[in-house]
């Protein structure tokens, strides 16, 4: 089949890498892509937020399947526009993508479906904000209601900082603090049947030991040796299936990738957030372990055929990804710096590879940084220790002036911290 992937980050590079190895994929296109994706897919220029333009490109390419990667085009209705053109699309409708696009909507769906999550208030006035902050006490959790690329959430002990963030948002969700480790569990769904993937853990804070500001994610690993083996079954039963059922009941079925961001608290599993797309950087490690060819799975979800899809196959090994970020990320990042050592990193042991997040190729042929998160260096191995060693070995060969990365991705899970 011919596949068009929309987006241009490390998640789309991971998707394209898997699809490029898939025997069922005869042609692979990506728009807009990036310098790394250009190695495995043919790139096209399109405004990813323009549904009719994406649909027209898909028709022109004769695509059998369009995979919409990021949240902004989903919320803008790009998957709807592709489907309206009679082409299969992997990704939810604009209506269903509100599960990610509005934290208040997600809370409403969870309440209706009895899905365990933090207690919360939606506030629009300073008085409501103060009441909610008082009601919960520290640590305060304040979330911008709209899309914010993982940066709209402030968790702080400082009531003034919490109030400042709340007042800077039009509509804000203030909620109970959830303790305990976080897990990302993705599920592929056609709106009815739900197929969970393997859990992963993301590192949201910018610096080692979970210090510094929240980011879009600085690294990830899978599997989670410390997790209860029944975790996936439990989340299927208490979170994923009820949420999918509730959206179908409302007449806005959710098809595509349902991402549950979970906290494993002392009182049980709680949903921190939903996303309506593959997570970045967790996708890099989850797809590194998936043995089932990806195109068939995504196509089955896009065509309401998951019920008869065979069980997924997984590698028993581990995967680790380490994000290399620009100077000053997650603040305004510096871009346009040359990146060196990419070939050495890929060649050094054959089990590490470099996924591009924010890069572009200059006319000179040089690869330049073009975003906050620049690269996602991924490696597989028989266990987390081996995968970590390989990933960091590759990271050490890459040169990008004043970049930063975390040194402790998967360290604790591997028993090394």
CA angle 278, 99, 8 (to 5 degrees): 30
Q: How far apart are CA 100 and CA 111, in angstroms?
A: 15
**Which residue of 182, 245, 346, 383 would you call a contact of ligand AMP, by CB under 6 A?**
182
Spatial neighbors of 67 by CB under 8 A, at least 6 apart, are 3, 4, 5, 6, 15, 89, 90, 91, 298
Q: What is the spatial distance between Cα 109 and Cα 111, in angstroms, rounded to a whole number?
A: 5
379 binds, among ligand GLY, ligand AMP, none (CB under 5 to 8 A by kind): none
155 binds, among ligand GLY, ligand AMP, none (CB under 5 to 8 A by kind): ligand AMP
Tell me if 5 sits within 8 A of 41, measured CB to CB. Answer: yes
282 interface partner picked from ligand GLY, ligand AMP, none, CB below 5 to 8 A per type: ligand GLY
Q: Work out which of 20, 156, 214, 303 binds ligand AMP, going by CB under 6 A.
A: 214
What is the Cβ-side half-sphere exposure of residue 168, based on CA atoms within 13 angstroms? 13
**Residue 87 vs 262, nearer CB to ligand AMP:** 262
275 binds, options ligand GLY, ligand AMP, none, Cβ within 5 to 8 A by partner type: ligand GLY
Q: Of residues 71, 175, 246, 337, which one binds ligand AMP by CB under 6 A?
A: 175
Residues 80, 98: Cα–Cα separation, whole Å: 13
Please check whether residue 404 is in contact with residue 341, taking contact to mean a CB–CB distance below 8 angstroms: no
Q: Are strands 201-202 and 219-222 parallel, antiparallel or unpaired?
A: antiparallel
CA distances from 347 to 221, 379, 393 (A): 21, 12, 11
Query: Which positions from 261 to 300 touch ligand GLY by CB under 6 A, shown as an x/- string?
Result: --------------x---xx-x------------------
Q: Answer whether 104's CB lies under 8 Å from 171's CB.
A: yes
- Tokens, residue 289: 């372990």
Q: Binding partner of residue 342 among ligand AMP, ligand GLY, none, CB under 5 to 8 Å per kind? A: none
Q: Which of 9, 36, 150, 152 binds ligand GLY (CB under 6 A)?
A: 150
Which residue matches tokens 């604790």? Answer: 412
Residues 6+ apart with CB under 8 A from 372: 215, 216, 325, 326, 329, 330, 333, 358
Distances 179 to 246, 265, 302 between C-alpha atoms, Å: 27, 5, 36
Give the residues across from 56 on adjacent strands: none
Q: Kindly indicate which of the ranges 29-37, 49-57, 173-181, 407-415 contains the residues binding ligand AMP, using the contact rule CB under 6 A.
A: 173-181
What does the per-residue mask of binding to ligand AMP show for 142-171, with x meaning CB under 6 A?
-x------x--x-x----------------
Of the pair 81, 141, the CB lying nearest ligand AMP is at 141
Partner that binds at residue 66, options ligand AMP, ligand GLY, none, CB closer than 5 to 8 Å by kind? none
What mask of x and - would describe binding to ligand GLY in positions 323 to 342, judged by CB under 6 A?
Answer: --------------------
Contacts with ligand AMP: how many residues (CB under 6 A)? 16
- 153's contact among ligand AMP, ligand GLY, none, with CB below 5 to 8 A by partner kind, is ligand AMP
By three-state DSSP, how is residue 178 classified? coil
**Closest chain position to ligand GLY (CB):** 279
Binding partner of 406, given ligand AMP, ligand GLY, none, CB within 5-8 angstroms per partner class: none
91 interacts with ligand GLY by CB under 6 A: no
- Does 8 bind ligand GLY (CB under 6 A)? Our answer is no
Structure tokens at 67: 């995979």
- Asked whether the bond before 85 is cis by omega within 30 degrees of 0, the reply is no
Q: Which of residues 69, 101, 217, 333 is near ligand GLY by CB under 6 A?
A: 217
Binding interface with ligand GLY (CB under 6 A): 150, 202, 216-217, 275, 279-280, 282
Binding interface with ligand AMP (CB under 6 A): 118, 141, 143, 150, 153, 155, 175-178, 182, 204, 214, 261, 272-273
């Amino acid at each position: 089949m011919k596949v068009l992937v929309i987006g241009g980050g490390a998640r789309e590079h991971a998707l394209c890498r898997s699809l490029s190895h898939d025997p069922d994929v005869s042609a692979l296109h990506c728009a807009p892509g990036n310098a790394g994706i250009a190695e495995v897919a043919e790139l096209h220029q399109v405004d990813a937020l323009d549904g009719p333009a994406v649909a027209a490109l898909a028709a022109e390419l004769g695509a059998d399947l369009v995979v919409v990667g990021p949240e902004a085009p989903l919320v803008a209705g790009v998957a709807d526009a592709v489907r309206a053109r009679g082409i299969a699309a992997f990704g939810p409708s604009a209506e269903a993508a509100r599960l990610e696009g509005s934290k208040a909507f997600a809370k409403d769906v969870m309440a209706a479906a009895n899905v365990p999550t933090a207690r919360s208030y939606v506030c629009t006035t300073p008085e409501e904000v103060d009441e909610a902050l008082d009601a919960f006490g520290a640590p305060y959790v304040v979330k911008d209601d709209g899309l914010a690329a993982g940066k709209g959430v402030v968790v702080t002990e400082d009531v003034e900082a919490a109030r400042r963030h709340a007042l800077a948002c039009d509509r804000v969700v203030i909620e109970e603090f959830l303790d305990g480790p976080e897990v990302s569990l993705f599920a592929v769904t056609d709106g009815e049947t739900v197929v969970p993937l393997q859990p992963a853990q993301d590192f949201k804070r910018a610096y080692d030991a979970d210090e510094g500001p929240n980011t879009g994610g600085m690294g990830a690993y899978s599997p989670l040796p410390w997790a209860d083996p029944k975790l996936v079954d439990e989340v299927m039963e208490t979170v994923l299936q009820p949420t999918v059922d509730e959206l179908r009941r409302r007449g806005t079925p959710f098809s595509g990738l349902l991402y549950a961001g979970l906290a494993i608290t002392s009182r049980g599993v709680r949903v921190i957030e939903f996303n309506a797309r593959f997570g970045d950087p967790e996708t890099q490690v989850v797809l590194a372990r998936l043995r089932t060819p990806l195109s068939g799975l995504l196509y089955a979800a896009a065509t309401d055929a998951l019920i008869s899809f065979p069980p997924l196959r997984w590698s028993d090994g581990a995967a680790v990804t380490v994000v290399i970020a620009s100077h000053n990320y997650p603040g305004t990042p510096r871009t346009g710096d040359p990146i060196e050592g990419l070939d050495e990193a890929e060649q050094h042991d054959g089990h590490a590879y470099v996924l591009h997040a924010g890069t572009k190729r200059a006319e000179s042929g040089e690869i330049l940084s073009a975003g906050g998160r620049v690269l996602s260096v991924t490696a597989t191995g028989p266990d987390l220790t081996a995968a970590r060693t390989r990933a960091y070995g590759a990271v050490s060969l890459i040169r990008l002036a004043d970049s930063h990365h975390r040194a402790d991705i998967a360290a604790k899970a591997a028993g090394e911290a």
